[in-house]
A and B are shown apart, each in its own frame.
Chain A
Amino acid sequence: MPEKSDIPQGTLDLPGPLHGFGIARRIEQISGNFLAVNQGTLYPLLLKLEHEGVIASAWGTSENNRRARFYRLTATGRKQLQAETRDWQQTAAIIARFFNVKAEDPA
């Protein structure tokens, strides 16, 4: 289990809480089915994040009136998400620059 990229980008940056199925669904939609993993593996990961205090969960009622467990980002989680987003963007930008330099300006 890689420590750093445990939070799938964008999936948790939502205004409201989401249940497990919803999260799995969003990963599928956003990744365009490229990240089609066994959805069940999400639950141990969610538990780990909860233990780390970056997300919190509670039972609630879903849109079609079913009982479901909802996950939401905590304040700490939000901060971490921002930090990691920043880090990621920086890294991506630097890598991109390397590719660009090579293509445009070999001198």
Chain B
Amino acid sequence: MKFLRRFLIRLANLATGRSADQRLQDEIAEHLAFQTEENLRTGMSPTEAQRQAALKLGPAQAIREHHHAEHSIPLIENLFFDLRYAVRMLVRSPGFSFIAIATMALGIGATTAIYSVIDATLLHPLPYPNPNELVRVEDNLPGVGAQRVGISIPEWRDLESSGIFQSVAITGRGANVNLTGSAQPLRLSFKQVTPNYFAVLGVDAQLGRTFNPQDATPGYNLEVVISDGLWRREFGADPHILGKALLLDNDEYHVVGVMPRGFRDQGSTSDEQNVELWLGAGFAGVPFPPPLRSSRLRSRAVLARLKPGLSVATAQGRLDALVESLNKQYPAEYPAQTKWAVRLVPLSENVVGNIRQSLILLFSAVGLVLLISCVNVANLLLARASVRGREIAVRQALGAQKTRLIRQLLTEILLLFLLGGIAGFAVLFSAQHFLLRLIPESLPHINDIAIGWGVLAFAVAVSAAAGIIFGLAPAWLMSRVDLIGTLRQEGRGATGSHARSRIRHILVVGELALSLVLMVAACLLLRSFWDLFQVQPGFNPERVMAVRTWLPGPNDPTTDPYQTATKESVLLREILRRSRTLPGVDEAAIGDEAALPLGHSDPGRLPLIREGIETMDNQAPVIDSPIVSPEYFHLLGMPLLRGRVFSDQDVEGTPEVAVINQAAARTYWPNQDPLGKRVRLHLDTRGLASPAQPVWTTIIGVIADARTESLADAAIPLIYRSSYQRASKDLAIFLRGHLDASAIPAQVRQQVQSIDATLPVFHAETLSEILSDSLSVRRFSMEMVAFFAATALLLAGLGIYGTISYIVNEQRREIAIRLALGAQRGNILKMVLRRGLRLAAAGAALGVAGALIVSHLMAGLLFGVSPTDLPTFAGVTLALTAVALAASYIPALRAMHVDPITTLHSE
């Protein structure tokens, strides 16, 4: 309390600039007068009386200083003096200040920009309470190489009662549903979730309620929770929405709640995060399969909240024990060779997924740029040290303490860095709308990226840290001037300057090495991207458009107008017939979402049971299985290698047939003829209406491999089935021809809806767009790293230019003497260039070593290029050396043109 009062009074005195000096002077005068009077009374002479009084009082000047220190706060006061002085110094050399501040603004601005992305994605990926408790539960069958095979209802109940989790929820992965009843049928993204889903996430509705976690309805409970966005957009934020009936895929659901604004579902794809409808379901009764241990809920995810205080590792340990006891208890359901295992994955990892690696790469790249800018500014500061040597020597000669000098120089440097950081932030803040457009939309949480207070704090903290780290050495070196030498104006050979130039060399070499690392990384990424871009996809995306539609899948199969493949094929054939009449269309085909090349996020994999090999779907390998119409292969230009493709005669009722790709033939029938082999693709959630007894599917053809799943992966096994034998709900209509991309969506919609007015038509895209979108994250990281590398190269060039100029400047006298003694000007040029070259060589050697480490770390991001690619390394080293030479050339020319007479005369 007393301390605070004292501090506040002193602070107020400091702020108002009030001085107590006059008062002290008056008091001391009085004191002396009293004392002198007393002394006179003891009989001293007046002079002696005054002298003794002054002696008794003590050193007046020291007392005044103490008094002043008590009156105000010297630390802050000095800081103000230093700051004022620093500002004066910055203003006095505007060129230097501008370059230093701009360099730092670049480094800190870029770092802060990437940080803002990372802040939204890696650091705060989950907008739910206690996010550390949230995990995904994955069932794997490592024995047969099957990952994420889905949970069964009895297993779910085991987990719920295991005591490891507060609650376990089963959720869909985001799927389409038709909302009909308004002017246009709407295709919306929905998730089926167990009623405890929102309890697991820990989020409640803003209006109404979420599902009752105790609700044990085995099938759908016909309640729907909607998102705030949908509520505002489609229902005008109607406060009486609760209880309203929504027709979803022809089923009537009642709205029970509206989620709060800003609530975002978890998931790694934007589709999943944009879910707008949640349907409560028990997954255990009609229309779901009966709750048996053997019937796994494929394409469903399991989300759980751990008991408070339980770490993921501990929970995993207890879960392993549970799995082991279940394996013993039900040996028939869990054959030993499948090695059933359950794994917990922190939800935060799941959300960010494979973006993490790219973001870490970007952040490291930008960190290097920041480092290089810091080094550059430190270099500039050292160059200035030689200019300011005299000033500092004079101040030291006048009695300035060394620590005081360092503090003052450090203040100056810190001010420079902070101004740079704030400038960088200001540029970032004003350009944020432009910059956000550069980020690919597939990046998760793109809408959460905000340039706000947190980011400003980061920018300031980074600039302060950089200022202290990179300012201390220059400040210390600057304060270490050789007094006498400098004052005699012969400081060239002085020790301070020697240490300075050595440090400058180290800095420049470091700078060159760092930029080489960045350039190698950028070139490797560029080549990967180029190779991917140039890769033959195995299908022809030119002049192809895909338009999507969704057939309703009502809960009661008897109300489904497209219940069977026969019924659906009538619609499909009519859509195809009408599509071919559209202007410009040469060919048309239909497939399901899995048939959309590079356009589907999570393929629905099915177990592949080969006749005579596997007996249970628990043991079977899984395979992607697109459903396509006969024209699909020709339209996409995928050549048939053996057998035949589907024909119009392969319909329901005739033997089921399938076409596989080369990769599937190689993987599952090595050294055999796959034609005529029979397989079963068991458990299709859509296939409940099909006969209870699964029928065998015969393989009739093999097509060439195409990179339809991933551009980077050449051979993923695929098995295609015919649209006329297998009903599917998620349809893509493919059109090839000279299409008018702007007119096609409306034309297709009109044609489709004239057949069935309840069908939504959405997502019209050209395949080329889809192809280019699939590369967007790679393109983004490549462009960013290339930009950073260019920046680094520029900075390094400036750094070496500055250093060589400085050396030339210091050696003017030496050069002049050499010239006067008859040295050839060409030799002088060579001498200076050699210096630059030596620096470049050291930097390149160090950089190549660093780049080798970095390129191996980022091997996972490369495609078609080895991390030790010789041409890249050689090319980059050459480019760097060329830049270093060019940067040394200008000062070398200046050295060559030194006029010996004027130079020697002026010294």
Contact = CB atoms under 8 A, between A and B. Distances in A.
B634 interface: no
A69 B56 contact: no
A41 B66 contact: yes
A94 to B, nearest CB: 26
Interface in A67-90: 67-69
B2 interface: yes
A102 to B, nearest CB: 38
Contact of A69 (B9, B26, B63): B26
Contacts, number: 72
B670 interface: no
Taking chain B's interface residues, is the majority helix, strand, or loop, or is none over half, making it mixed?
helix
A51 interface: yes
Contacts of A66: 30, 33-34
Contacts of A62: 30, 34
Given A40-B31, A41-B66, A52-B6, 8 more contacts: A40-B57, A40-B58, A40-B60, A43-B27, A47-B70, A47-B71, A66-B34, A67-B30
B31 A21 contact: yes
Given A20-B31, A39-B31, A54-B2, A69 B23 contact: yes
A20 B32 CA distance: 11
B70 A44 contact: yes
Contacts of A5: none
A48 interface: yes
B10 interface: yes
Contacts of B849: none
A43 to B, nearest CB: 6
A19 B3 CA distance: 25
B124 to A, nearest CB: 46
Nearest to A76: B2
Nearest to B7: A51
Contact of B9 (A37, A38, A51, A54): A51
A40 B70 CA distance: 14
A39 B54 CA distance: 10
28 contacts: A19-B30, A21-B31, A38-B56, A38-B57, A38-B59, A38-B63, A39-B35, A39-B56, A40-B31, A40-B57, A40-B58, A40-B59, A40-B63, A41-B66, A43-B28, A43-B63, A44-B66, A47-B67, A48-B70, A51-B6, A51-B70, A52-B2, A52-B5, A64-B37, A66-B30, A66-B33, A69-B26, A69-B27
Nearest to A38: B58
A10 interface: no
Given A47-B70, A52-B5, A53-B2, A41 B63 contact: yes
A15 B108 CA distance: 65
Nearest to B24: A43
Contacts of A51: 5-6, 9-10, 70
Contacts of B360: none
B904 interface: no
A12 B63 CA distance: 22
A6 B24 CA distance: 20
A24 interface: yes
A72 B894 CA distance: 75
A60 B407 CA distance: 44
Contacts of A54: 2
Nearest to A53: B5
B30 A48 contact: no
Contacts of A64: 37
B329 to A, nearest CB: 73
Interface string B54-93: 0011111001001101110000000000000000000000
B20 interface: yes
B63 A47 contact: no
Interface residues of B, number: 29
B850 to A, nearest CB: 54
Interface in A1-39: 19-21, 24, 37-39
Contacts of B35: 21, 39
Interface in B1-45: 2-3, 5-6, 9-10, 20, 23-24, 26-28, 30-31, 33-35, 37
Nearest to B5: A53
A64 B30 CA distance: 12
Nearest to A64: B37
B63 to A, nearest CB: 4
Contacts of B20: 47
A43 B71 CA distance: 11
Given A48-B6, A51-B10, A21 B30 contact: yes
Contacts of B26: 67, 69
Contacts of A40: 28, 31, 57-60, 63
Contacts of B33: 66
A47 B27 CA distance: 12
Contacts of B28: 40, 43
A15 B56 CA distance: 27
B29 to A, nearest CB: 10
A18 to B, nearest CB: 12
A41 B20 CA distance: 15
A53 B2 CA distance: 7
Interchain residue pairs A-B with the least CB separation, the first 4: A38-B58, A51-B6, A40-B63, A44-B66
A55 to B, nearest CB: 12
Nearest to B67: A44
Contacts of B9: 51
Contacts of B71: 47
B32 to A, nearest CB: 9
Contacts of A38: 56-59, 63
Contact of B34 (A21, A37, A53): A21
A53 B9 CA distance: 10
Nearest to B3: A52
A71 to B, nearest CB: 10
A102 B31 CA distance: 47
Nearest to B6: A51
A62 B128 CA distance: 74
